[in-house]
């Protein structure tokens, strides 16, 4: 091997090492600025409804970053998420992606984790949020309005008959008295009545 060939091989190897170091440094620096947040950080839902969290990624080009959503603990551990707007769970033009799952595991608190999925990043950043699941508030049964009681019909007062055996009104015997006196006078005039004078 000539001296020139050796120098060329060393130069190529040096360039390769430099490129590798630059890539590693760049990857480390790139990984250092990556970040992710979840919104809402906490919420309360009725059991059996859907819950959606939105991940926002920082430090990565839009649309090139995948996000993995997982329920790590709680009544819905291991639930399946549906992503939007991109169904493959990659970020959109605003570096956001949403994950939705159904809380049909009963009451309790879920811990939701969203992690960046990026090739070459060994320990991707993650963010967590919590979701409290409660039983729906029962709808109160309306109380029926009471039926008003009918107003009782008042019977007409019975007709009163005149009382019997009452005393005749004052002065009602006067005609009989006069008739009796007139009769006595008639007897005296006709001689039918003899008046005897007591002897002394």
Q: Are residues 60 and 78 in the same domain?
A: yes
CATH number at residue 72: 2.60.40.10
Does a structural domain hold residue 25? Answer: yes
- Tokens read off for 12: 């190529």
The domain in which residue 45 lies consists of 35-134
Sorting pLDDT into bands at 50, 70 and 90, what band is 36? very high
The pLDDT value recorded for residue 57 is: 95
Q: Are residues 13 and 75 in the same domain?
A: no
Q: Judge contact between 91 and 65, C-beta under 8 A.
A: yes
Q: In percent, how much of the chain has pLDDT > 70?
A: 61
Kindly report the backbone phi and psi dihedral angles of residue 17, in degrees, each rounded to the nearest multiple of 5, phi listed first: -60, -45
In this structure, of 18-27, 28-37, 111-120, the range with the lowest mean pLDDT score is: 18-27
Q: Are residues 28 and 75 in the same domain?
A: no
Q: Domain total for the chain?
A: 2
Q: Are residues 129 and 46 in the same domain?
A: yes
Distances (CA, A) of 170 to 47, 173, 175, 181: 97, 8, 12, 20
Q: Is the pLDDT of residue 31 over 60?
A: no
Does a structural domain hold residue 94? Answer: yes
The pLDDT value recorded for residue 138 is: 84
The pLDDT value recorded for residue 92 is: 95
Q: Are residues 50 and 25 in the same domain?
A: no
Q: Are residues 108 and 126 in the same domain?
A: yes
Q: Is the pLDDT of residue 7 over 90?
A: no
Q: Is the pLDDT of residue 1 over 80?
A: no
Does a structural domain hold residue 170? Answer: no
Q: Are residues 50 and 111 in the same domain?
A: yes
Does a structural domain hold residue 162? Answer: no
The pLDDT value recorded for residue 79 is: 97
Q: Are residues 11 and 61 in the same domain?
A: no
Sorting pLDDT into bands at 50, 70 and 90, what band is 61? confident
* pLDDT per position as a tens digit, 157-182: 665 655 555 565 565 555 545 655 66
Question: Which one is predicted more confidently, 71 or 148?
Answer: 71
Kindly report the backbone phi and psi dihedral angles of residue 108, in degrees, each rounded to the nearest multiple of 5, phi listed first: 140, -175
The pLDDT value recorded for residue 119 is: 79
Q: In percent, how much of the chain has pLDDT > 90?
A: 44
Cβ-proximal residues to 22 (8 Å cutoff; 6+ apart), any chain:
none
Q: What is the DSSP letter of 97?
A: E
Q: Are residues 15 and 42 in the same domain?
A: no
83, 115, 134 — which closes off a domain?
134
Does a structural domain hold residue 197? Answer: no
Does a structural domain hold residue 55? Answer: yes
Does a structural domain hold residue 48? Answer: yes
The pLDDT value recorded for residue 33 is: 84
Sorting pLDDT into bands at 50, 70 and 90, what band is 121? confident
């Amino acid at each position: 091997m000539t001296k020139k060939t050796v120098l060329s091989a060393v130069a190529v190897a040096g360039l390769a090492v430099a490129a590798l170091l630059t890539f590693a440094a760049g990857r480390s620096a790139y990984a250092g600025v990556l970040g992710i947040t979840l919104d809402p950080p906490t919420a309360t839902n009725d059991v059996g409804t859907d819950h959606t969290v939105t991940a926002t990624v920082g430090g990565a080009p839009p649309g090139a970053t995948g996000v993995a959503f997982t329920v790590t603990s709680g009544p819905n551990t291991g639930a399946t998420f549906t992503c939007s707007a991109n169904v493959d769970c990659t970020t959109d033009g605003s570096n956001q992606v949403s994950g939705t799952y159904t809380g049909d595991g009963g009451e309790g608190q879920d811990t939701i984790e969203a992690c960046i999925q990026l090739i070459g990043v060994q320990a991707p950043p993650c963010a967590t949020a919590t979701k409290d699941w409660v039983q729906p508030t029962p709808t109160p049964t309306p109380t029926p309005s009471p039926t008003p009681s009918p107003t009782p019909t008042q019977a007409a007062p019975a007709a009163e008959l005149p009382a019997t055996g009452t005393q005749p009104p004052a002065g009602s015997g006067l005609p009989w008295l006069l008739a009796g006196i007139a009769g006595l006078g008639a007897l005296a005039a006709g001689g039918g009545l003899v008046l005897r004078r007591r002897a002394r």
